[in-house]
Amino acid sequence: MNNFVYFNPVKLIFGKGTITSLSEVLPKDKKIMLVYGGGSIKKNFVYSQIINSLKGFDFVEFAGIEPNPAYETCMKAVEIIKAQNVGFLLAAGGGSVLDAVKFIAAASKFDGDPWNILAEKAEIKSALPLGSVITLPATGSEMNAYSVISKKATNEKLAFYSQEIFPNFSIIDPEATYSLPIKQVINGLVDTFVHTVEQYVTFDVNSPLQDRQAEAILKTIVEISNDVINKQNDYESRANFFWCATSALNGVISCGVPQDWATHMIGHELTAFYGIDHAQSLAIVLPRVWKHNIEHKQSKLIQFGKRVFDIKGKDSKKTAQKAINKTEEFFQSLGIKTKLSDYGIDAKEAAEKISKRFKERNTKLGEKEQLTYKDIKNILKKC
Amino acid sequence: MNNFVYFNPVKLIFGKGTITSLSEVLPKDKKIMLVYGGGSIKKNFVYSQIINSLKGFDFVEFAGIEPNPAYETCMKAVEIIKAQNVGFLLAAGGGSVLDAVKFIAAASKFDGDPWNILAEKAEIKSALPLGSVITLPATGSEMNAYSVISKKATNEKLAFYSQEIFPNFSIIDPEATYSLPIKQVINGLVDTFVHTVEQYVTFDVNSPLQDRQAEAILKTIVEISNDVINKQNDYESRANFFWCATSALNGVISCGVPQDWATHMIGHELTAFYGIDHAQSLAIVLPRVWKHNIEHKQSKLIQFGKRVFDIKGKDSKKTAQKAINKTEEFFQSLGIKTKLSDYGIDAKEAAEKISKRFKERNTKLGEKEQLTYKDIKNILKKC
């Protein structure tokens, strides 16, 4: 395996009734900003439990973070933080809210134009401390130091990383997922699955433990997905789903192995240009990225197909192909459409637009940086 | 699954040539105590690389930590620390050295009799900061906040836990294992295997991800053990082994599941009374603890047998029995003897002596605290 550094100081508080522990982990000596989205946390017990736990704390609310959180919205929060001397950020909601809070935390302490945090990967020397009550199993944002932010003005969607933006704590009560729209639940299953394969279906570096840790998540997602979708108030399947989502992106399965992320990078552009959901973009792009790279990824695709989907067969390209088809069928079985045309998007046009952007940025994608803008164009044409 | 809190702030630096990163992670403003054992780190590159990295740092050495580290030895280090105003502890060696350093860190800041940290589980309010260069894949001590200490005077071996004794960092260079005596390598394989099953072969709480994460470690250990033992300088198998050992006891696989640890508690007494190696004690006790609890653990034993050892058969007691036998055979295949008589120890005498101690302490063991001192006596008689 490759050398690696693993560091993840997030305190994860997981289970039924855990939101009440907020009062024990929040700082008593700082003004807190409670940040949330469109008010979904008011449709269940989350908002009221948080407000209850905040009794005796000095806090202000900031609502209105949108899905694919906007740079413009985040900067409004930064203004209030500076004006009101806020010292701690509490995110409540899904990954979008938490991603926004991570960016707000960094931008509040940043000298210069905060857009450079995203566009130039500018160094972040410090950030406001933050914590989260996370209600959506999907992004893994609750236990990592990544954030993805969109700029409305330019249709850009960019990610950044900094050890300064690890949440101090994240609280997960799986019961908070009962009131989620089913579309978001399905998106979360796809997101978790694709996060995992981005760190696993690459090339072999002799990492049997990490491979099996990734397969553990994938097999569990396949096994529980039916219950997760069809039993809305089933604590066990929702808890297992949430722990899979968190485990897929907390850094454990990526220790010492190559990572791909081409599907995510291309998918982000589809969301930025056409507004389709993140998970939809992944379900469309992943099978075509894999087909394009089938020779390169063959041995991992075969292992994945055999271990996760119980595919039988020789160690051949045909078996790798079966693994790709089976993955697309799995997404479809969840009710996710896997073609751009299903969303009224012209594949040729998308291929031109998006590959142009990668050409301009001079970025190559994939675990060996093997995909040029020309490859990306070919991949998108087949989407 | 059960509710849980996961927190592990250790920075893990893993791979070839990583000891040189010491100079980046050690504090420049504190006097450092370098703690090690009988000098095995001088037989390879570890000691010289550490001394090289310590250039420019203010440090003192403390050697002579023994296997099953003694309370008495630790207290000598505490004296020097207080006299010389040491502010940071650096452990170099195996789990024993690191366990000693964790205890020394806590004892150095403890008001009152430090033995109470172990005997009374006294609260630890603070500890000296510490880091490690760990050379033995076995105890997982490099990435947790546990420590086990023995008192020579009374033949006692006791564990304690405190969030204050997490290492700030742990450095693992798998090449440091090349010079280990083969007996220690084999012990480490058994230790890793038993750590994992203590957190897995219990009863079902609907935790499919955690189950598969545990099986990932077990299957990998079974798969690589031959190479680990027979290819002394094979980087890949040693690296995979080390990552299994760390992952078995860093808290990930125990999230939200019951834990047993009866084998360890009984094994510690065998080591305390008879001086046999920790791993030997585990290999002797585990199969008998499982046989004694076979009905209670049946469904997990069957799952374990089928998934880890590919045992075929119905979901019956017979299959559970096969899983136990297969485990004992696996230990034996590594060259570990699994009977007390193999070590010249009388099982009846050990059963009397050790069960008496559990009777006096009024402790019950097992995942449901189902084992009384009478059960422990029966288990040991069959060892």
Looking up residue A242, the CATH number of its domain turns out to be: 1.20.1090.10
Residues B131 and B171 in one domain: yes
Residues A254 and A368 in one domain: yes
A255 touching chain B per CB within 8 A? yes
Residues B15 and B120 in one domain: yes
For residue A301, the model assigns a pLDDT of 98
A6 touching chain B per CB within 8 A? yes
Contacts of A218 in chain B (CB under 8 A): none
Looking up residue A79, the CATH number of its domain turns out to be: 3.40.50.1970
Question: Quick one: average pLDDT of B256-284?
Answer: 96
Q: How far is A258 from chain B (nearest CA, A)?
A: 15
Minimum Cα–Cα distance from A17: chain B residue = B3
Cβ–Cβ gap A223/B208 under 8 Å: yes
Contacts of B13 in chain A (CB under 8 A): 5
Q: What is the DSSP letter of B3?
A: -
**Among A129, A132, A64, which residue's Cα sits nearest to residue A94?**
A132
For residue B156, the model assigns a pLDDT of 86
- The predicted-structure confidence for A90-116, as pLDDT tens digits, reads as follows 999 999 999 999 999 999 999 999 999
Residue B39 pLDDT exceeds 90 = no
Contacts of B5 in chain A (CB under 8 A): 11-14
Residue A14 pLDDT exceeds 90 = yes
Query: Does residue A1 lie in a domain region?
Result: no
Cβ–Cβ gap A1/B239 under 8 Å: yes
Residues B159 and B203 in one domain: no
Cβ–Cβ gap B209/A9 under 8 Å: no
Cβ–Cβ gap B12/A5 under 8 Å: yes
For residue A155, the model assigns a pLDDT of 84
Domains in chain B: how many in total?
A: 2
Cβ–Cβ gap A1/B243 under 8 Å: yes
Contacts of B206 in chain A (CB under 8 A): 236, 240
For residue B155, the model assigns a pLDDT of 84
Residues B232 and B351 in one domain: yes
Residues A112 and A70 in one domain: yes
Domain span at B158:
11-176
Cβ–Cβ gap B12/A1 under 8 Å: no
Minimum Cα–Cα distance from B244: chain A residue = A209
A15 touching chain B per CB within 8 A? yes
For residue A3, the model assigns a pLDDT of 98
B73 touching chain A per CB within 8 A? no
On whether the pTM is more than 0.95, the answer is yes
Q: How far is A13 from chain B (nearest CA, A)?
A: 5
pLDDT tier for residue B152 given thresholds of 50, 70 and 90 = confident
Low-confidence winner among A94-98, A151-155, A256-260, B189-193 (lowest mean pLDDT): A151-155
Residue B326 pLDDT exceeds 90 = yes
- The predicted-structure confidence for A298-343, as pLDDT tens digits, reads as follows 999 999 999 999 999 998 999 999 999 999 999 999 999 999 999 9
A254 touching chain B per CB within 8 A? no
Q: Which of B176, B207, B239 is the last residue of a domain?
A: B176
B2 touching chain A per CB within 8 A? yes
Q: Which of B146, B176, B206 is the last residue of a domain?
A: B176
H/E stretch holding B152: none
- The predicted-structure confidence for B168-184, as pLDDT tens digits, reads as follows 999 999 999 999 999 99
